Amino acid sequence: MQERSGAEIPEGRTVSSRVVQDQHNSSRWTRFRAHPKFRRRIVLAAACLLVIGAGISWLTVEAQKVVVPDLAGLSVPEAGLAASELELGLEPDSPLPTDDIQKFTTISTQNPIAGARVFPGTVVSFDFDLDKVEIPDIGGMPLTDAQKVLAANGLSGQPAQAQLLRLESGDPTGPGLNQDASPVALAALAEQLDVTGDVDFTGAEFALTETANVDSWTVTTVSPSAGQSVRAGSDVSITLALPITQVPDLAGMPSAEALSLLKQVGLSAKQSSEPSYGGPLPAEFKLDLAYLEYSYWGSKESATLTAKLGKSGTWLVDSQSAAPGDVLLIGDAVDVRAQWPTAVVPDLAGKTGDEAKQALNDLGFSGYALPLSSTGIVRSQVYAAGTVMPVGAQIEAQIGHEFSFAITSSASRGMITWAAPGTFSIQQANGESLPWTKTWYPSSVPSVYERGNFNAQMNSGDGWITCEIIVDGEVVQTKTSTGAYSVVSCG
């Protein structure tokens, strides 16, 4: 057999070409593997694979990290929100204030610093400062409202003192005392309020040691004063006003103004539904507007009545349930009673029915009962002129007709003959002074045929003489005669 490179084939055995090829390749690999370049390549490739794996691993880890936000300048709640969005924890370096004060904080430092990359769940520690806030003006507010305003501004406040408000003398425009009051009455009210200790009624502040309930008491002053700047979370000392006030004098005041004034001084106000009146009242008269509008007031007069009576708020106060100067607790009730408006009855004598009615309506009285007509005059009235009566009252009067014979002349005396209206009885008077008038008051105006007649003659010399028939102030007939001893006749 021909010799070949590689392993020798034992004698007597046949070797296939595949086996021969494998032996050849193996021999070549053994020679290559033993070469130094091969070993360096293997080491370099392995190193590259390690570096690549480490890089991939690092990138994978880094991708899980988050960037720490900048918390400086944020409040604690704002920082908490920013941290929670990145799944980071927060831990203060010093104790936090209460929840309602935390919004008035500003973060100053943090660890880890802003921009650091950390894993979710990392706790960021921080330090903070309390903001400066301005004390609001809570004067005049009820305590509970004042405390809400303080809390909204990052502050708290508790009542420490109280005082009895003293107003300027004669100035009843707010709760408090504007004149001296009975010390006994003041002490009794303080006892009702469960105020103990040395209570000062001079207006000076005193320590508030114990009270039943001061929630509704109003704030007078605070310390530090309104407008000053303090750190959020500070406590403000509050001085309260004792809920004691004084009743003002309401007499003669329009009731609407009186009710408003009572509310200004802290009292509950109510007007009595029954007005007062101390003068004479017509029969069946009621101090009730609704009654009057549906009684003897005619439809044409009702608007006049309403206008003259006006709103009850314009009526003047006649009495009050608590005397002026009395001391009461804020919120106590005071009733006022207004006087029904009045007017003075006019003199109706000599007025026609229409004139009398208009005169009554102008003053707020009803003339509905008058036997009205375009003629006729008032002969008498039930209530004398000058009598004070309640507005809305019905004023009755008797209306008749005035019928007169009248003589005027240039002479001073004359002879007169006449027959009264509706009669045939003749009467005569000689030497009567002129001018001369004879008047009757019939219930109706006599007709031309019933009004009688009269004549007159001058007693001396030349001149003139005139006769007139006058009905309800109107001349319905007149005649004149001239010459010596002239005679004139009307009828």
Give, for 57, the enclosing helix (H) or strand (E).
helix 36-62
Please give the average pLDDT of every successive group of 10 residues along the chain, which has 491 residues.
44 50 53 60 71 65 83 95 92 93 95 92 94 95 94 93 80 74 88 84 84 86 94 94 92 93 92 84 77 62 71 88 93 93 90 85 79 68 90 83 90 91 87 92 81 88 91 89 92 85
Range 38-67 burial, b when 16+ CB lie within 10 A, else e: eeeeeeeeeeeeeeeeeeeeeeeeeeeebe
Q: Where in the chain is the domain with CATH 3.30.10.20?
A: 66-130
Q: Do residues 233 and 104 make contact, with C-beta atoms less than 8 angstroms apart?
A: yes
Q: Where in the chain is the domain with CATH 2.60.40.2880?
A: 403-490
Architecture of domain 66-130: 2-Layer Sandwich (3.30)
What tokens were used for 488? Answer: 């004139």
* Residue 2, pLDDT score: 41
Write out the E strands in 420-486: 426-433, 436-440, 453-458, 464-471, 474-482
Predicted confidence (pLDDT) per residue in 306-341, tens digit? 777 777 888 899 999 999 999 999 999 999 999 988
* Residue 59, pLDDT score: 63
Predicted confidence (pLDDT) per residue in 372-405, tens digit? 555 678 888 888 999 999 988 888 888 888 889 9
**Rounded CA gap, 319 and 311, in Å?**
18
* Residue 196, pLDDT score: 77
Q: What is the pTM of this model?
A: 0.62
Please state which CATH class domain 403-490 belongs to.
Answer: mainly beta
* Residue 5, pLDDT score: 45
Predicted confidence (pLDDT) per residue in 235-260, tens digit? 999 999 999 999 999 999 999 999 99
**Rounded CA gap, 269 and 321, in Å?**
10
* Residue 396, pLDDT score: 83
What tokens were used for 468? Answer: 């007139």
Q: Provide, rounded to the nearest whole percent, the portion of the chain with pLDDT above 90.
A: 45
* Residue 276, pLDDT score: 87
* Residue 329, pLDDT score: 93
